[in-house]
Chain A
Amino acid sequence: MTALPARPDMTTPDGGSAEPPAPVPHRVLTALLTLAVPAALALVVVAVAAAWADDLPDLVAVHFRPEGPDGFGTVSSLVGWTVGGIALAALVSWALGTFLGRTGMIRRIAAGLGVGMSVFLGGGSLGLLAIQRGLSDPSLVGDVDPIITAAMLAGVAVGALAAWAVPPDPYRVTTRPPPADAPSLPLAPGERIAWVRTAGSHAALGIAVGVAALLLVLALALRTASLVAPLVLVPVLVVALTQVVVTVDVRGLTVRSRLGGPRLSVPLDEVVRADVTVVAPLREFGGWGYRTTLDGRVGVVLRAGEALEVERTGGRRLVVTVDDAGTAAALLNALAARSRIA
């Protein structure tokens, strides 16, 4: 991925670590997507349920077993739980996007989570009510699986759409070279240089094998052919997403999964400084994977130990666990310094 083209209207000079971090951007849009959209969906659920109230039995089926419904409740309690669930998803995603959303990817995840969960919960409840309209006895209700599947797919699709609608971070360049105490390495004039390293998690490989074995046992025991797809898909996805290729070159830092995407990048113009750090995944990030912390660090944390930490304009920080991070940090600082002298 090449660095974003400089757009003068979006480019703000940034002094880097010496100045206070810029506020989390796009907070209004975050509130719109994570609070207003779920609130509207909750209102739709309430309004539609009220409009259907006369056609519905006094008690509707709300819980199901493979043989049929086994739990019943009033329409208002179903609506109440649905609205409560939507409110919880909305608040959690709003807090995520508003307080931790310095990096565009986090705001995307927040918007996708808030909108997607609301569509899933609201759509699922309305679907559940729709198939019970006109029934005198809710235990005669038909198959609920297609409703839940459709609600889930709609949630994923609309959530993805919301995530896509979130604008990326504004492009903030810094013209200040990395501080003198940052690691660096000598570059010859005109030299082209690149550092590439694969980083991965051995534990994830073990988990992938374990999950595959478990699915195989389940598929055989239950004679369920539909488990064969996840049997192949889950380990492939686990391996693909937990093995990343880290590149430092004249474009900056790029981290991409073995599948080619998702990918994260820090354009060279946005690098304030790069350093080596040591990561304790549980204590600092609360686990492994694509993580964010309360102080706004975003991490690709695949194992404990050596990691590259890049301080980026706008108060953003990216941590990637990778071997030989010292060379990567030194090269990133050296390239940043070279690009800012001219």
Chain B
Amino acid sequence: MLLRIDPASTEPLFAQIGGQVRALIARGQLPAGSRLPPARELATSLDVNLHTVLRAYQDLRDEGLLELRRGRGAVVAATRDRTELQAAIDSLVRTAHSLGVPPATTISLVKEALR
């Protein structure tokens, strides 16, 4: 898996890591049972604090996407197939683009609808 983080971004580092792992799982690139790299190694690779990666992993565990086990590390949990959701999102993004709706507005609308 390829993870990119931008230290200059306003989004916190743990949220950047969590967001990318979430997207990889949603797109099926990290199927259930895949093992994520140990937090310590990923922290060294990305040159971030260990607790930043742990925080990202813990958030994903709280969402039910990861299982964290002592000794076994982080493993992607079995979740329902989300390809349908991904397809809906793709279509949402396309529609927003074609109508010229700015991303911030689209996100606000989605947030409102999810409330």
Q: Which residues of A contact B (CB under 8 A)?
A: 188, 190-198, 245, 247, 249-251, 327, 331
Task: Flag whether B62 is at the interface (Cβ < 8 A).
Answer: no
- Whether the pair A327, B35 counts as a contact (CB closer than 8 A) is no
CB–CB A190/B41 < 8 A:
no
Given A194-B45, A194-B46, answer yes or no on A247-B37 (Cβ-Cβ < 8 Å).
yes
Query: In the complex, which of the residues A193, A196, A250 contacts B37, with contact meaning CB atoms closer than 8 Å?
Result: A196
Kindly identify, within residues 6 to 35 of chain B, every residue whose CB is under 8 Å from any CB belonging to chain A.
6-8, 34-35
* A249→B8 CA distance, assembly (Å): 19
Report yes or no: B1 in contact with A197, Cβ–Cβ below 8 A.
yes
A-B contact sample (13 more), CB < 8 A, given A194-B46, A195-B1: A190-B6, A191-B4, A192-B4, A192-B5, A192-B46, A193-B4, A194-B3, A196-B41, A245-B37, A247-B37, A247-B41, A249-B45, A251-B44
- Which A residues are in CB contact (< 8 Å) with B112? none
Whole-angstrom CA separation of A193 from B20 in the bound complex: 12
Contacts from B to A (Cβ < 8 Å): 1-8, 34-35, 37, 41-42, 44-48
Q: How far is the CA of A293 from the CA of B7 in the complex (A)?
A: 43
Query: Contact between A195 and B47 (Cβ–Cβ < 8 Å)?
Result: no
Which residue of chain A lies nearest to B38 when distances are taken between CB atoms in the complex?
Answer: A245
A244 CB to closest chain B CB, in angstroms?
A: 12
Say whether B2 contacts A327, CB under 8 Å.
Answer: yes
* B residues near A249, Cβ cutoff 8 Å: 44-46
Q: Which of chain A's residues have a CB closer than 8 A to the CB of B37?
A: 196, 245, 247
Q: Which residues of B contact A198 (CB under 8 A)?
A: 34-35
- Give Cα distance in the complex from A197 to B1, angstroms: 6
B1 engages A192 (CB within 8 Å) = no
7 example contacts (A-B, Cβ-Cβ < 8 A) are as follows A188-B4, A188-B6, A195-B1, A247-B37, A250-B45, A251-B44, A331-B2
Give bound CA distance, A110 to B94, whole Å.
60
- Chain B contacts for A327, CB-based, 8 A: 2
**Min CB distance, B33 to chain A, in Å?**
11
Residue from B2, B8, B35 with most neighbouring chain A CB atoms (10 Å): B2
A196 to B45, CA, bound (A): 9
Q: Which residues of B contact A245 (CB under 8 A)?
A: 37, 41
Inter-chain CA distance A331–B48, complex, in Å, is: 19
In the complex, what distance in Å separates the CA atom of A191 from the CA atom of B37?
A: 20
In the bound complex, CA of A341 to CA of B7 (Å): 21
Provide the residues of chain B in CB contact with A192, threshold 8 Å.
4-7, 46-48
Q: Which residue in chain A gives the minimum CB-CB distance to B8? A: A190
Determine the distance from Cα of A197 to Cα of B7 in the docked complex, in whole angstroms: 23
User: Are A196 and B42 closer than 8 Å at their CB atoms?
Assistant: yes
Closest to B2 in A: A195
A257 to B: closest C-beta gap in Å: 13
In the assembled complex, the Cα of A251 lies from the Cα of B46 at a distance in Å of 10
The 6 A-B residue pairs with the shortest CB-CB distance, nearest first, are: A194-B45, A249-B45, A196-B37, A193-B4, A195-B2, A192-B46
Chain A residue numbers with a CB within 8 Å of B3 are: 193-196
A190: chain B residues within 8 A (beta carbon)? 6-8
Q: Which B residue sits closest to A245, measured CB to CB?
A: B37
Contact B5 A196 (CB under 8 A): no
Q: Please state if A191 and B5 are interface contacts (CB–CB under 8 Å).
A: yes
Residues of B within 8 A of A196 (CB): 1, 3, 37, 41-42, 45
Cα A114 to Cα B40 in complex, Å, equals: 38
A250 CA to B7 CA in the complex, in Å? Answer: 15
In the bound complex, what is the Cα–Cα distance between A331 and B2 (angstroms)? 9
Bound CA–CA A247/B37 (angstroms): 9
When chains A and B are docked, how far (Å) is the Cα of A190 from the Cα of B4?
A: 10
